[in-house]
Amino acid sequence: MKVFETSEVKNIALVGGAGSGKTTLAETMLFDGGIISRRGSISDKNTVSDYREIELEKGQSITSTIMYTIHNGKKINIIDTPGTPDYVGEVTSALHVADTAFLLVDAHQGVNVGTEIAWRNTTRYNSPVTFVINQVDHEKSNFNETLNQMKEAFGEKVTLVQYPVSEGPDFNAIIDLVLMKMLKYGPNGGEPEILDIPESEIDKAEELKMTLIESAAEGSEELMEKYFENDTLTLDELRLGIRLGLANRAYFPVFCISAMKNVGISRLMEFINLATPTPDARHRFTTEGKELSSNPTDPTTIFVFKTSIEPHLGEVSYFRVYGGCVTEGMDLINSRNGNKERLSQLLVTAGKNREKVEKITAGDIGATIKLKDTHTNDTLNIPSAKDIQLEKIVFPDPIYFIAIKALESSDDEKTGAILNDVHRVDPSFRVQYSKELKQMIISAMGETHVNNVKWHFDKIHKIGIEFLPTKIPYRETITKPAKADYRHKKQSGGAGQFGEVHLMIQPYFEGYKDPTEFPVRGTETIELPWGGKLIYNNCIVGGSIDARFMPAILKGIRERIETGPLTGSYARDIVVYIYDGKMHPVDSNEISFILAGRNAFSTAFKNAGPKIMEPIYNMEIIVPEEMMGGVMTDLQGRRGIIMGMDSNGRQQIIRAKVPLAELNRYATALSSITSGRGMFSMSFDAYQQVPADVQTALLKKYEEEQDED
């Protein structure tokens, strides 16, 4: 393959809802570019994009696929992304390195939740967007209604570049408003016959052309002046205005196609080459705020935006070159860890098809294999620029949490290794072992995300696993002072054990007061790893307990607050006063005072108005206005407190505080209530005391679990 220069490369991401035809469009683009000799189909399970076993079985894209095609001697890199909302992390990484997003909308389904989610992501990355209304050949296609929905959802900047002469099964002709010609396609699509616009369409086409010219004129002040002066723009001026408006999101062109019938695809590829931003026009920033513009004269810098694990190849790292060029066998430095990595092979990929190349220049996308310690979000540089680190992809925070357990304990280690591999490939999937909850917790973007992980365990690894509800990290605390004492005495021949501790505890809060009945001789403040504080006060007078045993008492107390007396949860925000006790000249030792301190604390805790505290989360839920009632009713049923509401176009934003215990499977519930159109994010807010009835239920449940053990 020839080496493509920066000016000969375009990078696009295909985004949109499931079923909008992204994979079929990519397939047709590769066919038209001569990369494949025969078009596959999703139904025949032979597309370039969906080649993984899980995708073939489920009939949909699960991960993004990097491909390329050639048009008029230029290379178009294509990232085909999944439409399932659970794989939004794949869309995020694609938009991070693509220079233009092509957002596909199904002509018979119109704007749906997948369309809205894709749009939000393009807005977040400030990506230029071209809309492509696909499946205009569908028998229930409604092009005008779909366009109206797009304008309502995304604003009046959505502007036609093309419209169909007719739609449905007879769709074979497009009016192109830039060329002011009719593009007529044969039964196999491909290259169109370019004809004059029929008399019946001239008035409509001229009216829409003026709207297009007005939008394009807003691309620059100079164009606006020419428009005011001449009441129109020349073809070259129109194209310039489209390029400028597209690049700064002042204008969103709309194309119409049938990816299945190869109608409109060659013209779309021509538009990509002529109008979409070049790699050097879309700058990226380093972590220190420096701009990189994919300049071939800059020091070599590449950014790894995706990792996959492929059969017979191992780990494949996909990268974009942001400076200079890379050559086979080149040594680069990972700016994260300072390690040297050798690019032993350079590849360009079209799905599972890979071709070795010797050089990849700035702005282009490639792949390499078997890097030692380089993963997604890493930057590699030549030694003279080893400190350059590009801004990382910010993957969405997980919203679905569940515990996972191997059915056979002998598979625990393998299970952990597999889950870590899943995270390397998909950073929006996370795994962590909770020492507190004694569970392996996986965090994902939804139930489909989790079920597809189980598919890999069942079908690929042949390891049995089960999912369990995640336990809630409750906290225990006290609400009033209490005293207690405990004598530990044990005699079984020889040296015995003896230790007696008298203590008082009270709640910790800012500005608390020490009691006046005994003096505080020494204080130790302990910031607890799980939040809150433990204040430990030595109030011993007269040597009733030797100073050398005070650390042992503290150790016993700390052991007890790690498994609170009520439910075994961590305790917090407690002030302890050790004010009296007894020793034995022979039998007192460290273990005696550990046990005495632990048991005295436990008794006092139960008498100090103990309360269970639960984690409260801030929720931000985005829903269509007509669905607010059902969502708010559901939140109130989850003990949620509505904190406020805002609007953003057609969407309503609900802010609430909700106990974590009530959010089990909320992602699934919200999807059901809103027909998949709702989205939410959540973040920890604070711990609050649970209501009395909830505490009673938790205590009863804990007692039953202890009895079973």
- HEC string for 642-671: EEEEEEECCEEEEEEEEEHHHCCCHHHHHH
Alpha carbon separation from 655 to 496, 629, 658 (Å, rounded):
61, 14, 10
Close Cβ partners of 379 (under 8 Å, ≥ 6 residues apart): 301, 302, 303, 304, 334, 335, 336, 388, 389, 390
Token pair for 246: 């597209």
The predicted structure's pLDDT at residue 286: 82
> In angstroms, rounded to a whole number, what is the distance separating the alpha carbons of residues 470 and 708?
20
> In angstroms, rounded to a whole number, what is the distance separating the alpha carbons of residues 22 and 65?
11
The answer to whether 89 and 487 are in contact (CB under 8 A) is: no
User: Residue 273: pLDDT above 70?
Assistant: yes
User: Residue 662: pLDDT above 80?
Assistant: yes
3-state SS, residue 536:
strand
Average pLDDT rounded to a whole number, residues 385-400: 91
The predicted structure's pLDDT at residue 220: 85
Token pair for 41: 């189909």
Cα dihedral value 560, 565, 566, 571, nearest 10: -30
Q: Supply the CATH classification number for the domain 476-609.
A: 3.30.230.10
The answer to whether 71 and 33 are in contact (CB under 8 A) is: yes
Where do the H-state alpha helices sit in 498-645?
550-561, 590-606, 628-637
Average pLDDT rounded to a whole number, residues 406-416: 94
Structural domain spans, the chain:
6-191+252-281, 284-385, 400-470, 476-609, 612-694
Q: How many Cα atoms are found within 13 Å in the side-chain-facing hemisphere of 358?
A: 3
The burial class, CB within 10 Å (0-12 / 13-18 / 19+), for 8 is: buried
CA angle at residue 557 from 553 to 562, to 5 degrees?
150
Looking at 3.30.70.870, 3.40.309.10, 3.30.465.10, 1.10.287.110, the CATH number of the domain 400-470 comes to: 3.30.70.870
The predicted structure's pLDDT at residue 400: 92
What 407-414 contacts at long range (C-beta under 8 Å, 24+ apart), as own/partner pairs, is 407/464, 407/465, 407/466, 408/463, 408/464, 411/463, 411/464, 414/461, 414/463
Residue type, 242: I
The predicted structure's pLDDT at residue 708: 67
Nearest alpha-carbon partner for 269 in 60, 531, 34: 34
> CA Rg, the chain, in Å?
32
The predicted structure's pLDDT at residue 564: 86
The answer to whether 133 and 148 are in contact (CB under 8 A) is: no
Nearest alpha-carbon partner for 671 in 445, 485, 461, 513: 445
- Across the strands, what pairs with 253? 159
Average pLDDT of the chain is: 93
Percent of residues in the chain assigned helix, strand, coil, to nearest 5: 30, 30, 35
> In angstroms, rounded to a whole number, what is the distance separating the alpha carbons of residues 412 and 428?
22
Average pLDDT rounded to a whole number, residues 417-441: 93
Q: How many CB atoms lie within 10 A of CB 304?
A: 25
User: Fold for domain 6-191+252-281?
Assistant: Rossmann fold (3.40.50)
Nearest alpha-carbon partner for 28 in 193, 257, 309: 257
Confidence label for 221 from pLDDT (cuts 50, 70 and 90) = confident
Q: How many CB atoms lie within 10 A of CB 325?
A: 20
> In angstroms, rounded to a whole number, what is the distance separating the alpha carbons of residues 456 and 705?
33
CA angle at residue 602 from 598 to 606, to 5 degrees?
170
> In angstroms, rounded to a whole number, what is the distance separating the alpha carbons of residues 514 and 576?
10
The answer to whether 624 and 650 are in contact (CB under 8 A) is: yes
The answer to whether 383 and 324 are in contact (CB under 8 A) is: no
Instruction: Express each pLDDT in 45-62 by its tens digit.
Output: 999 999 999 999 888 899
> In angstroms, rounded to a whole number, what is the distance separating the alpha carbons of residues 352 and 65?
9
User: Residue 649: pLDDT above 90?
Assistant: no
> In angstroms, rounded to a whole number, what is the distance separating the alpha carbons of residues 121 and 15?
10
User: Residue 706: pLDDT above 90?
Assistant: no
Q: Do domains 400-470 and 612-694 have the same CATH topology?
A: yes
Q: What percent of the chain has pLDDT over 90?
A: 79
The predicted structure's pLDDT at residue 366: 97
N- to C-terminal Cα separation, the chain? 67
> In angstroms, rounded to a whole number, what is the distance separating the alpha carbons of residues 623 and 313?
43
φ/ψ of 678, rounded to 5, equals: -90, 150
The answer to whether 538 and 503 are in contact (CB under 8 A) is: no
Length of the chain: 709
The predicted structure's pLDDT at residue 526: 96
Instruction: Express each pLDDT in 131-150 by its tens digit.
Output: 999 999 999 999 999 999 99
Confidence label for 336 from pLDDT (cuts 50, 70 and 90) = very high
User: Residue 709: pLDDT above 70?
Assistant: no
Average pLDDT rounded to a whole number, residues 181-190: 94
φ/ψ of 535, rounded to 5, equals: -105, 120
The predicted structure's pLDDT at residue 416: 94
User: Residue 563: pLDDT above 90?
Assistant: no
Nearest alpha-carbon partner for 620 in 679, 671, 570, 662: 679
Nearest alpha-carbon partner for 382 in 328, 344, 348, 341: 341
The predicted structure's pLDDT at residue 676: 81
Token pair for 133: 């209304």
Residue whose entry in the numeric block shows the structure tokens 């910010």: 394
Nearest alpha-carbon partner for 160 in 263, 238, 255: 255
User: Residue 648: pLDDT above 80?
Assistant: no
The predicted structure's pLDDT at residue 64: 96
**What architecture does CATH give domain 612-694?**
2-Layer Sandwich (3.30)
Residue type, 222: E
The predicted structure's pLDDT at residue 493: 65
User: Fold for domain 284-385?
Assistant: Elongation Factor Tu (Ef-tu); domain 3 (2.40.30)
3-state secondary structure 428-447: CCEEEEECCCCEEEEEECCH
> In angstroms, rounded to a whole number, what is the distance separating the alpha carbons of residues 395 and 89?
6
User: Residue 491: pLDDT above 90?
Assistant: no
The answer to whether 80 and 23 are in contact (CB under 8 A) is: yes
User: Residue 494: pLDDT above 80?
Assistant: no
The predicted structure's pLDDT at residue 565: 82
Token pair for 320: 């974009």
Pairing of strands 158-160, 162-164: unpaired
Close Cβ partners of 674 (under 8 Å, ≥ 6 residues apart): 623, 624, 627, 630, 631
Residues 120, 122, 126, 129: is their CA dihedral positive or negative? Answer: negative
Token pair for 247: 């690049």
Average pLDDT rounded to a whole number, residues 609-624: 93
